[in-house]
Chain A
């Protein structure tokens, strides 16, 4: 079954960039570089493209300025907002702090850090077994992990909340603890699939040479396979982080009371609080936005190649 996951190795290799800088070096004219045959010489089409690019930027990026400006504006409300702050102030952040935003934020960080660590370890171990070993039931295991991708939290939310309240066999109540959010995120089909595909491409000769030197399974994974998988681990890491940070329903059902919420879920608490205005909600939104923004800007290349390889956001 060829799931949305297509070979990440091949898709992540960038196409050699057409030479653009050197004068007269170009072998093919620019109009063959793109599907629409965009030309980089000034002209009507060039002007149209700049206009359209500005529109795209205005639609997809500029609205973020509205959040920023609102968060730093005194007495901000839905009306009277602009893309640049007036009456700059940090008051909104102070009030949001009084409403416990930093506690929510630390919940989020613990869940994102712990969840990502668990997810990477669990998925790497599983991928290693699937890629570097042959055993009975391999196809079944692969199908099971693929199925986890088709069982999003939304569909199993109601029974999952019961399971979190009383984990089968051990009878633990995970509700109200960070484990209630972290553990369900551990086995992520996408990471398993992608890492498996990547590990399969490691030449057998490397593994055999190491085996002759008497390297055991764990050292093989840690010292031989993992260093060769850094690009794939980067993709799994950044996509995993974005996916965990975006979780909404899971922290909602795993919480016992609102103090257990993550910062993204807590935005609704701030919004329904009659004593705080839009500015405070927006301050919360900025706090919830910054970590994913940092991760994205630092690890963009991994993220984009991972999505191009067929990742799912949730």
Chain B
């Protein structure tokens, strides 16, 4: 980032005392809000995860009990599997579909711009609204929206949300639908940055379209792809709203993910300690993943 360089020499003429206080006055509201509503809850969550939290009776220190209880609970273990399947499947699907959309809708004509505006709609719609929309599409009888289409193909009505074997993949499809257009926008920005003369040079060398895509386009948009991948992975692990509004974790716990499980534990079963421990585990994994991806990206970016 070239813009980050500010020469100290140009910043002079302010008294030392004023100079040191002024920035903190401007930062105060933001730091205060972040402290009270982000960092304090985080610290409190870590703290509570070591306690058996009992309202009115006082909290009792239990060490790592909450952690062992959560990590050995088979419903949490199932949730890990679901979270991974959902997170990875959704991320990969949304990246592939987003890339396909970007390739399809790249261009400067007016009609393409209108198309992109329309295709991007799922990404700006509130997740709760998207949930209602897909609930409608997945309506289980043969005259539901998707099922009537399948009916035309001679396929029987599919219980998209009521069949435990299918519900997780139905949720995944909705996730892909939400995030593919979003990825498309990031990848389009990447495609716009590809040097056009490279395409001409490739044409002169008689390179096929596939080879051009593979050896010219893909390397050029690698940074954009990495951003998309990072965001998607981190998002995938903490998926909550999509599942909560579409299936609520059901049927028979088949779509229960880590965060919906923690939510149920904390708010319906009032096990604050256990829910905190589950959140801390997720937080650690998220941070670890972020740091790792950033590390590799930095190494990859070093030119």
| Chain A residues engaging chain B, CB cutoff 8 angstroms | 1-4, 6-7, 9, 11, 15, 17-18, 20, 28, 31-38, 40, 49, 52-53, 56-57, 59-61, 63-64, 66-67, 70, 78-81, 121-123, 125-126, 128-130, 133-136, 138, 141, 144-145, 147-148, 150-152, 154-163, 167-168, 183-184, 186-187, 192, 197, 200-201, 204, 208, 211, 217, 221, 242, 245-246, 248-249, 253, 264-265, 267-268, 271, 278, 281-282, 284-285, 288-289, 292-293, 295-297, 300, 303-304, 307-310, 312-314
Contact = CB atoms under 8 A, between A and B. Distances in A.
A24 B29 CA distance: 58
16 contacts: A20-B109, A35-B199, A38-B106, A52-B104, A56-B115, A123-B30, A126-B29, A133-B23, A162-B41, A184-B33, A200-B6, A249-B240, A264-B127, A264-B129, A307-B186, A313-B235
Q: Is the interface of A mostly helix, strand, loop or mixed?
A: helix
Given A217-B22, A310-B227, 18 more contacts: A6-B227, A20-B108, A36-B103, A57-B115, A67-B129, A79-B144, A80-B143, A122-B33, A150-B287, A156-B45, A158-B262, A163-B40, A187-B33, A200-B4, A211-B13, A248-B241, A292-B124, A308-B185
A314 B230 CA distance: 14
B3 interface: yes
B48 interface: yes
B121 interface: yes
Q: Is the interface of B mostly helix, strand, loop or mixed?
A: helix
Interface of B: 1-4, 6-8, 10-11, 13, 19-20, 22-27, 29-31, 33-34, 36-42, 44-45, 48, 101, 103-109, 115, 117-129, 131-133, 135-137, 139-141, 143-145, 177, 180-182, 185-186, 188-189, 191-194, 196, 199-200, 203, 209, 212-213, 217, 227, 230-231, 234-235, 238, 240-241, 244-245, 259, 262-263, 266-267, 272, 275-276, 279, 282-283, 286-287, 290, 294, 297-298, 301
Contacts of A200: 3-4, 6
- The 3 tightest CB contacts between A and B, nearest first, are A78-B139, A308-B189, A129-B26
Nearest to A83: B145
A49 to B, nearest CB: 7
B227 A159 contact: no
Contacts of A201: 3
Contacts of A34: 103, 106-107, 191
A2 B126 contact: no
A159 B48 contact: yes
A122 B30 contact: yes
Contacts of A312: 231, 235
A158 B45 contact: yes
Contacts, number: 335
A314 B238 CA distance: 11
A162 B107 contact: no
A304 B121 CA distance: 12
Contacts of A159: 41-42, 44-45, 48, 276, 279
Contacts of A141: 27, 31
Nearest to B242: A248
A139 B41 CA distance: 23
Nearest to B223: A6
Nearest to B114: A57
B41 A17 contact: no
Given A134-B8, A184-B37, A246-B126, A192 B108 contact: no
